[in-house]
Structure 1
């Protein structure tokens, strides 16, 4: 196989053809789609699909990797040409790539990211963007599924995961877009959360001219330390059959209730939401069993009413920052308020899948590595290896700033997978390393904290604001005030930077049941503050950014 490498594209890619203009009629568009030959415009690629999708199509994904969890069908709202390719990134690695080109193209290009350690094309984001008229691209990030075994003894796959897959996806898609429509886009955008958020940050650092606007939500930056922090929870809470294991019901009941008792009303409203977890100094010792309770073993069941001294210490460790042997902070603490979901994902008495596979296959290349043995030696090893250059803790964004790029980040304040304290830490780090005030940094990067939001979406707060195709896609207006992607467009194309992002809270977190309330989310370091009379707690006017 001939492999080509050149400065403006990814490994194995070359622009080899000119573009054609997109026709206007339905039959013409269908013909154009089915006659399009992507392999004429990119070298060394293998076509896997070329589909014309008509409006109203209920698109399913029967070949979706099982470990990615089931993907909901996509409703196609306009005529779309779906292109699938396998694109090599080295002589032993490749990406599965898709481009969705809508007939009613808005002249914009959008690349989507991934999640976890996957491995999984997020079709809800792809259909969301293409339905809004974006020429949209995606990839599997260099391997299939959420398991990490593909990293084993193959640093090229790890490098794809770290940054190369997205860059390849982006460059390839731009070549095909120009060939398909006969002209290049007006502006280029990126949308991603979690690992997708980290990918967006990595693009701003490594390839500052790839995108005019980047939406990087809940970014999994400082990635190796994030995986170390996640691995550490299993060594703290222990296995589910250990004598002092804290049951999920205790975390989501007794402990969560006490956290809410101590911290819910710090913002002046009792609503089941800790608006700013950094203000919550939770004291778990208030749950310590009395002598009588110890005799009755009131701690021993799922309906526990107190905690043993050992359990109290476990809770303290869970909510403590993670330090290295040198006393340096490696990762901030888990924020109070996340425990209902975190007890299912992180404190469940089993090793966390992502960190287990990361250390087994990317760090140690040893499938027998035992996550119960995790210690500071593993932390030192992952720092030394930094598989694929994945760490993503930039010193500055000077290239992105000089290129005129804009970036919006957001983070749910009860995220159970990535500490919501880490994005402010990154924002402060960049401000300091670039010698910028917050006002200066806001010229090209704005960060919004989202009270009551879980990981990337969901939760009891006003957590729907157009950040993904998962929830409220139709119910949330595509306006700069209500939709973060629309806000990014307004900033890039009109120079109107967002001061707030208004989130929507649906009744029972179900968009079909209608809107319960909306709330403006504040740009960091401002804090959402209740300024009402104590009666009306949901009206937007009762909250201010102070």
Structure 2
């Protein structure tokens, strides 16, 4: 049993806070000038007045026992290492109903030069740490990076918000999921709770509500963005969902299935062998889009036979070929998982990875682990454990079976027997596969959905399938008024791949929401060190960039083709 400490407001804090509010401008701008005959309150005083403040449970739209501001610190424009201008860094905790559940730890960054808008940053993996709200959100395909000249949202005057989704840990640690409230927070409840906490704090600082609210996230954060549109449509005006784990239940089942092949005797594929796989794929498929540029721009046209790189007699004879067991691993990754039961929203399958058309599972040890032995280290260790194994194993052990002795390696993902109903319940809690975006659309909400064709963690086909279901419900024309879907060839999951593209997605989204400027003729820039600066058109699905002649490093040399 742990002891929870709460910070109470003192009369001094309250009096300073009310003095700050008395001079706050009623509009949303960053003007901190005081009216005549009222003593000026500095940004530093307004910031420090927030420290120790409590947020009542009644101001948070889902059940909590309130929230506490742990600290509020003014970061000066001239502080060493700060490139975001002057802002107030607020750290807080949102308290659970279940005393045994963890707090949700949050950060809200309040710029002195406030533009009236907020960007809510999504997390990734199992979360467990607060998103980097002082940096760049996942509006591109290289995590934390933007093209030259693109400032962070905080620097531009946006309030930035993030949380740990309701538990402390790392992206490979799912032990929190043994607690129902912690699991519900991770599944999506933390989105609403964090949003309402941030709105309360921002109003106390600026004296006004947000004019526009955006959510930007990738991976599980992309899933969170879709949940924001589906479950909390009144809170957000625009969303960028990058490589979303929308069917996260099917994802861990598929990752478990692949792990069984990967970790079977002889099934592990080293980075050296992975390099041979990619070289063979590029040799056959690279030029199918009109130019040999190291990118498979139309994976659907790439039909690769893995026996081309089979070792003689199927035995493992070196790094230049795959054994039969290793071909089985790649084939498993390259085929869908078909389930004997329905997940949320009637889904009964999880798609294949582009295993034989550019997905690079070896560019980082995070996907398949540093080695066959390291892959199964629990609790997960970043840089050693395999995400495929730890994510699926922890979901089974803590969220579903509630039995730490369970193992994904002895489990049937397609037909889980007595655990089927529990998996379905967790799917209903976590998956963001609903096509009901009606409320979000009615309030004018906009979504940019984007995925990389070389994604090694979440197959691009997952977003294609979700988009196609949306088209079936709304029709492509009506849907395009509120949602744009882009596939980026060569782009992977924040790292790896052949084209780590990025663009100023926040500005594109903001212009669509505030000015009605529909995204069109977008260009994405590669930030991969060896090929940095080359550009490609961002083609709205189902189009893909086809080479039409000229400098292969320029977007103008490609046309969006179907």
**TM-score, normalised by the number of residues in structure 2:** 0.80
Q: Which residue of 1 aligns with 2:502?
A: 464
Superposition deviation, residue 41 in structure 1: 4.8
User: In the alignment, is the contact (CA less than 8 A) between 2:74 and 2:88 conserved in 1?
Assistant: yes
Between the aligned partners of 1:316 and 1:342, the Cα distance in structure 2 is 19
Q: State the 1:354 CA deviation.
A: 1.5
Q: Is the 8 A contact 1:457 1:464 kept in 2?
A: no
How many angstroms does 1:371 deviate by?
A: 2.1
Aligned partners of 1:387, 1:449: CA distance in 2, in Å?
26
Written as runs of structure 1 = structure 2, the 5 A alignment for 1:379-418 is 380=420, 383-386=423-426, 389-418=429-458
1:463 offset after TM fit, Å?
A: 0.7
**How many angstroms does 1:76 deviate by?**
3.8
* 1:73-112 matches, cutoff 5 A: 75-92=82-99, 93=101, 94-112=103-121
Report runs of 4+ in structure 1 exceeding 4 Å deviation. 16-20, 124-127, 326-329
1:68-217 alignment to 2 at 5 Å? 75-92=82-99, 93=101, 94-123=103-132, 128-146=152-170, 147-152=173-178, 154-217=179-242
Greater mean deviation of Cα atoms: 282-291 or 93-102: 282-291
Residue 455 of structure 1 corresponds to 493
Change in 2 beyond 3 A, CA 1:306/1:109: closer
Distance 1:223-1:58 versus aligned 2 partners, 3 A rule: farther
Match of 2:506 in 1: 485
Q: 1:180 to 1:516 in 2, by over 3 A?
A: same
Q: Evaluate the alpha carbon distance shift between residue 451 and residue 58 of structure 1 in structure 2; reply closer, same or farther with a 3 A threshold.
A: farther
The CA deviation string for residues 170-223 of structure 1, in whole angstroms up to 9 with x for no partner, is 111112111210112221111111111000101111111110111111111011
CA separation of 1:345/1:37 partners in 2, compared to 1, >3 Å: closer, same or farther?
closer
Task: Look up the match of 1:30.
Answer: 44
Provide the residue aligned with 2:533 in structure 1.
Answer: 516
Q: Is the 8 A contact 1:204 1:400 kept in 2?
A: yes
**Distance of 1:343 and 1:464 partners within structure 2:** 19
Q: Which of 270, 274, 282 is equivalent to 1:247?
A: 270
- Paired with 1:91 and 1:341, the residues of 2 have a C-alpha distance of 41
Cα contact 1:191–1:215 (8 A) shared by 2: yes
Q: Deviations over 1:92-111 (max 9, x none)?
A: 33311111100011111221
- Describe the SS at the equivalent of 1:90: coil
Q: Is the 8 A contact 1:89 1:168 kept in 2?
A: no
Aligned residues: 482
Partners of 2:289 and 2:297 within 8 A in 1: yes
Kept after mapping to 2: 8 A contact 1:415/1:454: yes
Partner residue, 1:13? none
| TM-score in terms of structure 1 length | 0.82
The secondary structure found in structure 1 opposite 2:533 is strand
Q: Which residue of 1 aligns with 2:334?
A: 319
Q: Is the 8 A contact 2:351 2:462 kept in 1?
A: yes
Match among 221, 224, 233 for residue 249 of structure 2: 224
Gaps of 5+ in 2: 5-16, 26-30, 34-39, 58-65, 137-151, 377-388
Superposition CA RMSD, Å: 2.7
